[in-house]
Amino acid sequence: METHVLIIGGGIAGLSLAWQLAPTVPVILVEAERTLSYHTSSRSARQMQPGYGPAPIQELTHRSIALVEQISAGLSSPILIPRHLMTLGTVAEVQALVAAHSSLTGLDQAQTMHRSPDLRPETFEAAALDETAHEVDVPALLDFYRREAVAAGAVFLTEHPVTAVEATGAGFTVTAGGHTIEARIVVNAAGAWADTVAQMAGARPRGLRPYRRSVAIVSTQFPVDPAGPMVEPADESFYYRPDGGHLLISPCESVLAEPGDAQVVEADIAQLIQRIDAVTTLGITGVVRAWTGLRTQPADGLPVVGMDTEEPNFFWLAGQSGYGIQTSAALATMAAQLVTGTLPDEDSALAAALSPQRAGLN
């Protein structure tokens, strides 16, 4: 088999890049697991929050929301729905947040209670409200990327773990699932395994480390308002939001892990339930299901995107940390422009901030 671009990894990074590249160049995507998006991309909280993360992430999130709005408009049901974010704190904490982020509005305690009547008023003084935040139907978005890529001619091979990547001078010979694939360009979209894949190809690892984070869906004694906001404290030590008649909750842990099939630590969820019961009157009655995923990032917390100048034709699309869903559409657009040499000049500073050659990696 041969192709122009071989993408390693069938999570949201690989699928979104296939969507962007397939209309222009031949693409094969290989995924180790039996199903696409088995790892982190199916384990997120499904949020797109333009106020979350460092400046390059905020820019990519704004752009992605606009792109996903267009995608959503062409589908039979909307996949992007407003889900306001309320950050609770003291008056001073909320004033500081509102001063730092133009998208936030300050609410006093009564206004906050009006928007979320199940809060316990004695646990906060005020809130910062972000009305630009959204919830996204991630399975539908992943399916859109896959369908569009396949319609444009991309080939997806699941159960094809990459076990060898050998530079040939003109590109790479890749061994995946027992097959040999010749590729001009190899894209490393391997999530928690990105440094492992880089080493296989002879490229310098960039210090990408996976950190586990969990989410649980819980039932409650009193009904959850489906249109209610996502709620977090100012120190971002947990969050919760309505989810299909239940509550989606996360302890926001960030614990260094090995690449693999991350599993829930039940004590984390039990502790979190106590914390949320202390701030709301909803009364959590049980865990419906829970999952854990790996948020992978380098030391400076920004994604690693671009051609590796030390290992020619080896392209990085990794290290999206907790932002891989909310940035996928714009990041894939930029990555495809970098692969095809069509990046607009006005985006060169943004690309430099994410470059695998930037200082501070490894």
Question: Binding to ligand FAD by residue 11, rule CB under 6 A?
Answer: yes
In a 13 Å sphere around the CA of 278, the CA atoms on its Cβ side amount to 10
- CA-based angle 300:305:311, to the nearest 5? 105
Structure tokens at 350: 């943004």
Options 6, 7, 13, 305; binder of ligand FAD; rule CB under 6 A: 13
| Residue number, 313 or 328, with CB nearest to ligand FAD | 328
CB 215 within 8 A of CB 69: no
Please, which of residues 248-277 interact with ligand FAD by CB under 6 A? 250
Question: Binding to ligand FAD by residue 329, rule CB under 6 A?
Answer: no
Q: For the chain, what's the residue count?
A: 362
Question: Binding to ligand FAD by residue 58, rule CB under 6 A?
Answer: no
CB of 329 to ligand FAD, least distance (A): 11
Question: Binding to ligand FAD by residue 205, rule CB under 6 A?
Answer: no
Which of 257, 264, 214 has its CA nearest to residue 239? Answer: 214
Stretch that binds ligand FAD, among 96-104, 185-193, 231-239, 344-352 (CB under 6 A): 185-193
Q: What is the DSSP letter of 268?
A: H
CB 118 within 8 A of CB 242: no
CB 91 within 8 A of CB 112: no
Question: Binding to ligand FAD by residue 156, rule CB under 6 A?
Answer: no
Options 185, 224, 272, 325; binder of ligand FAD; rule CB under 6 A: 325
Structure tokens at 196: 């492992």
Could you give the CA distance from residue 112 to residue 133 in angstroms, rounded to a whole number?
Answer: 17
Question: Binding to ligand FAD by residue 44, rule CB under 6 A?
Answer: yes
| Residue number, 97 or 213, with CB nearest to ligand FAD | 213
Q: Which residues contact ligand FAD by CB under 6 A?
A: 8-14, 30-33, 37-41, 43-47, 161-162, 189-193, 197, 213-215, 250, 293, 295, 320-326
